Amino acid sequence: MILPMPTPPAAALTMLDPFGFGRAAGRYWRDAFERSVLYMDVMRVRGNQYLEHLEQTKPSVLGFDTDVLMDGRSLPRPVNYELLRIEPPAGVATDPLMRPFVVVDPRAGHGPGIGGFKPDSEIGVALRAGHPCYFIGFLPFPEPGQTVEDVVEAEVAFLRHIGELHADSAEKPMVVGNCQAGWQIMMAASLEPDLFGPILIAGAPLSYWAGERGNAPMRYTGGMSGGSWMTALFSDLGNGQFDGAWLVQNFERLNPANTYWTKQYRLYANVDTEAERYLEFERWWGGHVVLGGEEIQYIVDNLFVGNRLSTAQLVTSDGRRIDLRNVRSPIVVFCSRGDDITPPPQALGWVRDLYAGVDDIIASEQTIVYCVHDTTGHLGIFVSGSVSRKEHTEFTANMDYIDVLPPGLYETTVSSAAERDDAELIERDYLLEFTPRTIEELDSEVQHRPEDDTRFATVARISEINLGLYRLFLQPWLKAMTTPESARWMRRMHPNRLGYRLLSDRNPLMTTVPVLAEQIRANRQPADHDNVFRVMESIVSDQITGSLNAWRDLRDGATERMFLDVYGQPLLQSLVGLGGDAHVHRRRPGSEPEHRRFIDYRQEELRAKIEKGGSHEAVIRALIYVLGGAPATDERNFKRLRASHAELEPALSLADFKQLMREQFFILKLDRDVALASIPVLLEGQNAEQIAGHLEHIQHVLAASGELSEHSADRLASVKALFEQAIDQAPIIEAQSRAEAEEWVGHQAQAQSLAASNVEDLMERVPQAKSEPKPEAAVEAKTESKPEKAVEAKPTARRKPRASRRKTGDNGKA
């Protein structure tokens, strides 16, 4: 047992050490020793936690209770995925009629659960908003023969089951795909677009050759390793399975300062308060899983090296082309400039790969929204509490609005209500705004370089050559020597896995650590933070971090220069068949004949609907026209429009409202001048008071977001003129109807008088009247009923009186 050291009187210490350095040093060294022991105890707990997590059948860091709805191992093509229903925590109620919310977790080396890691997570935000939530996770080991295509089909089956559970809901599920799960969900949505509602892909790479020079080190990995042959090598050494710890190691090497020093020093410096947070994160970071050899080879060959997803070059085993242009749901892309794993060019480059311009996006009836965070890292995109409380909360709260955005490309920003002049008009702490963008504006984020495409295409060709040589010469020998036991020992000896085992209770050398840690906690005496030696320690730590960052920058810069120089050689490019300026290395997929015929058919269909409809079509068309001239719009217009439409037309469902919005947008896009000129035609049959009410409704909706821009104000003035034109026509039509009715009554009265005074003469002049037994009653019935109908039935008032007048004219002649 260690006894506490006696403390001399303060007066004596002052005489012996007038400047206090000795006392500060003594306190610091004791504090440093205690922190070292406590640090090692935390690492011991981390090792035990890792081993316990590893021994679980279904390890997960999900922070919510769940029920298993579907097990992917029971599907016709078995996979190690599961569909879970999230049980809402106490005090939180969900509405089964609301839009289902589905989170798909990334399988990129770590275990499942990161999407619901904390209460302030993607799932936590959706639960508090009342959405029924589901989670698609996975087990540590793949099923034999499992492929990426099998996983995609399993996710389709899960989404179909969720749709059946919520058949009464008017909305399709909102699906969130984090990191690797993002491109997987996009593949599924391109094959079965009708199953998906809005799609949010967070930190998901879809364009793997894209990247800003000096800020995308991972895109050079395939080229510097000679292609994907090393993936096949490690899969063969793993007896057909690829250890996810190798992927985690690649992530850690991106930021050596954080991996080898900053993260550990933060724990050491604040070991009294940081231990719980550190252990919570390490439970997920150290939960390594295994991928099938076929899966990882498909991913590296077709995505990381081949970049075939964003150019519609992938084809399923049954001949279906995976074309992201087939996705019909709104797509929200969330990325960050602080993310070195999936920088914005890799998250957004697929848009310019597929589309030559915004008109192509509109022709495909797609709505693409992107949001670029300034600072957060890769994990912060879907783990950070501040991001969840801000961006994810706004995305979830406004999915109905995003769902009715007209097709096109938009950038969204989240602004604080407190910092705005119109804060009194904003309901929550933040406001989501949407600004239309062009492909040219998107290029400022993507920073595409055609010469880099040639380099990466060269890498893809060399990868195919090296993989073929490996499979011919080395693979048969390795497969013959590898056994399940050797593969298991290879995984256990991986540096990342071994580090957890060595610092656990299974290591006899760690037995004294918990005893010392318990005694220190009982009599802990931390040094003050302003202790001169603690300050010096912090300075040294910053210098170590700076040195490691400088080494990282030097390494990444040298790697980039080597990659550009080696794969930029014209001789090497010619040797692999990529010589000549006319060769297209990254083809933008053209429109298929069927798609062009579909567009022509839709245009003819819309032309026929320009003058069809009523007040709903007129109001929506006017609003889209006015807001289309705004540099930006936000959620407030939609909320007021939806609320007021619910009051004006309760029978109009949200799904019908969305269809109406999209249809009127396309009509305006097809022929704006004719569409606007047809607004008075759509308002025919409405009286002046009703039309004025519709105009007031439009102004009420537009006022929700404050003062209109000058361009939008001019458009609103044009809309007012059209509605006022309809108002002016309404009383004229009514007066004409009334005058025609009165004229008709006059003619009928004259005919009745003539018949009463000289019936016989009338019958001689009009022989057909003899067949009428009671002419006076018949005429009297007409004079009493038809004028009233003509006045009341306003939609047909113009036609019926004219028909009646022709009849009375005949009688008059008689």
pLDDT confidence band for 1 (50 / 70 / 90)? very low
Q: Which has the higher per-residue pLDDT, 713 or 741?
A: 713
pLDDT score of 631 = 64
Q: What is the mean pLDDT of residues 767-775?
A: 41
Answer yes or no: are the C-beta atoms of 184 and 177 closer than 8 Å.
yes
The sign one gets for the Cα dihedral 271, 275, 277, 283 is: positive
pLDDT confidence band for 795 (50 / 70 / 90)? very low
pLDDT confidence band for 759 (50 / 70 / 90)? very low
* Nearest Cα residue to 597 out of 363, 390, 803: 363
Phi and psi (nearest 5°) for 713? -65, -40
| CA-to-CA dists, residue 373 to 105, 226, 258, 361, 506, angstroms | 21, 33, 21, 24, 43
Phi and psi (nearest 5°) for 463? -60, -40
pLDDT score of 277 = 92
CA 676/CA 680 separation, integer angstroms = 8
Q: Which has the higher per-residue pLDDT, 300 or 623?
A: 300
pLDDT confidence band for 43 (50 / 70 / 90)? very high
3-state secondary structure 192-238: CHHHCCCEEEECCCCCCCCCCCCCCHHHHHHHHCCCCHHHHHHHHHC
Q: Which has the higher per-residue pLDDT, 39 or 109?
A: 39
| CA-to-CA dists, residue 115 to 62, 85, 86, 120, 384, angstroms | 8, 14, 12, 10, 10
CA 400/CA 395 separation, integer angstroms = 10
pLDDT score of 529 = 87
Residues in the chain: 814
Q: What is the mean pLDDT of residues 500-509?
A: 94
pLDDT score of 278 = 95
CA 599/CA 638 separation, integer angstroms = 28
CA 400/CA 174 separation, integer angstroms = 10
Burial class of residue 813, CB neighbours in 10 A (0-12, 13-18, 19+): exposed
pLDDT score of 750 = 54
pLDDT score of 6 = 60
**693 C-beta neighbours (distance < 10 Å), count:** 13
**574 C-beta neighbours (distance < 10 Å), count:** 12
| CA-to-CA dists, residue 556 to 95, 191, 217, 335, 379, angstroms | 50, 38, 6, 22, 21
Answer yes or no: are the C-beta atoms of 426 and 704 closer than 8 Å.
no
Q: What is the mean pLDDT of residues 237-260?
A: 95
Proportion of the chain in helix, strand, coil states, percent, rounded to 5: 60, 10, 30
Listed range (84-88, 514-518, 529-533) with the worst mean pLDDT: 529-533
780: alpha, beta or left? (left if phi > 0; alpha if psi -120 to 50): alpha
Q: CA 103, 104, 109 angle in degrees (round to 5)?
A: 135
pLDDT confidence band for 792 (50 / 70 / 90)? very low
Burial class of residue 580, CB neighbours in 10 A (0-12, 13-18, 19+): exposed
Helix (H, G, I), strand (E, B) or coil at 758: coil
Is the pLDDT assigned to residue 761 strictly greater than 50? no
**179 C-beta neighbours (distance < 10 Å), count:** 27
404-418, 438-452, 481-495, 599-613: range with highest mean pLDDT: 481-495
pLDDT confidence band for 9 (50 / 70 / 90)? low
Q: What is the mean pLDDT of residues 95-114?
A: 90
pLDDT score of 774 = 42
CA 664/CA 679 separation, integer angstroms = 11
Is the pLDDT assigned to residue 764 strictly greater than 70? no
Task: Pull the structure tokens for residue 203.
Answer: 């930190």
Q: Which has the higher per-residue pLDDT, 749 or 701?
A: 701
Is the pLDDT assigned to residue 296 strictly greater than 60? yes
CB neighbours of 543 closer than 8 A, spacing ≥ 6? none
* Nearest Cα residue to 450 out of 206, 209, 205: 209
pLDDT score of 147 = 96
Answer yes or no: are the C-beta atoms of 234 and 243 closer than 8 Å.
yes
**Where are the chain's structural domains?**
56-209+307-448, 593-730, 737-813
State pLDDT tens for residues 545-572.
999 999 999 999 999 999 999 999 999 9
Answer yes or no: are the C-beta atoms of 293 and 240 closer than 8 Å.
yes
Q: Which has the higher per-residue pLDDT, 671 or 470?
A: 470
Percent of the chain with pLDDT over 90: 52
State pLDDT tens for residues 389-407.
788 888 888 888 888 888 8
Partners of 177 in beta bridges: 104, 201
pLDDT score of 4 = 55
Listed range (131-140, 163-172, 392-401, 755-764) with the worst mean pLDDT: 755-764
pLDDT score of 676 = 92
Helix (H, G, I), strand (E, B) or coil at 370: strand
pLDDT score of 585 = 58
Listed range (94-103, 452-461, 724-733) with the worst mean pLDDT: 724-733
* Nearest Cα residue to 165 out of 141, 188, 210, 133: 133
CB neighbours of 554 closer than 8 A, spacing ≥ 6? none
Q: What is the mean pLDDT of residues 787-809?
A: 38
| CA-to-CA dists, residue 650 to 639, 657, 797, angstroms | 15, 11, 28
Task: Pull the structure tokens for residue 43.
Answer: 């690492």
pLDDT score of 88 = 92
pLDDT score of 584 = 54
pLDDT confidence band for 503 (50 / 70 / 90)? very high
Burial class of residue 61, CB neighbours in 10 A (0-12, 13-18, 19+): buried
CA 727/CA 692 separation, integer angstroms = 7
| CA-to-CA dists, residue 358 to 192, 611, 775, angstroms | 24, 27, 70
pLDDT score of 34 = 96
Is the pLDDT assigned to residue 751 strictly greater than 50? no
CA 391/CA 413 separation, integer angstroms = 9
pLDDT confidence band for 766 (50 / 70 / 90)? very low
R_g (Cα) of the chain, nearest Å: 36
CA 392/CA 386 separation, integer angstroms = 9
CA 482/CA 491 separation, integer angstroms = 13
Number of Cα atoms under 13 Å in the Cβ half of residue 215: 14
pLDDT confidence band for 785 (50 / 70 / 90)? very low
pLDDT score of 76 = 95
State pLDDT tens for residues 406-435.
889 999 988 776 666 555 556 667 788 888
pLDDT score of 17 = 57
Answer yes or no: are the C-beta atoms of 808 and 790 closer than 8 Å.
no
Is the pLDDT assigned to residue 359 strictly greater than 90? no
Q: What is the mean pLDDT of residues 704-713?
A: 78
State pLDDT tens for residues 127-145.
988 999 999 999 999 999 9
Q: Spell out the CATH class of 56-209+307-448.
A: alpha beta
3-state secondary structure 783-797: HHHHHHHHHHCHHHC
Listed range (46-50, 510-514, 643-647) with the worst mean pLDDT: 643-647
CA 136/CA 68 separation, integer angstroms = 10
Q: What is the mean pLDDT of residues 203-231?
A: 93
Give the containing element (helix H, strand E) for 782.
helix 775-792
Q: Which has the higher per-residue pLDDT, 594 or 66?
A: 66
CB neighbours of 500 closer than 8 A, spacing ≥ 6? 46, 47, 50, 51, 286
Q: Is the pTM of this model over 0.75?
A: yes
Give the containing element (helix H, strand E) for 804.
helix 799-813
Tokens 């950038």, located at residue: 411
| CA-to-CA dists, residue 240 to 78, 147, 475, 491, 700, angstroms | 17, 12, 11, 13, 64
pLDDT confidence band for 300 (50 / 70 / 90)? very high
- Tell me what the pLDDT averaged over the chain comes to: 83
CA 354/CA 448 separation, integer angstroms = 13
CA 737/CA 261 separation, integer angstroms = 88
The sign one gets for the Cα dihedral 549, 550, 553, 556 is: negative
CA 681/CA 618 separation, integer angstroms = 9
pLDDT confidence band for 311 (50 / 70 / 90)? confident
513-517, 755-759, 805-809: range with highest mean pLDDT: 513-517
Q: CA 260, 277, 109 angle in degrees (round to 5)?
A: 60
pLDDT score of 783 = 41
* Nearest Cα residue to 130 out of 154, 99, 94, 103: 94
β-pair type (133-138, 101-104): parallel
CA 737/CA 457 separation, integer angstroms = 74
Is the pLDDT assigned to residue 155 strictly greater than 60? yes
CA 657/CA 616 separation, integer angstroms = 9
pLDDT confidence band for 379 (50 / 70 / 90)? confident
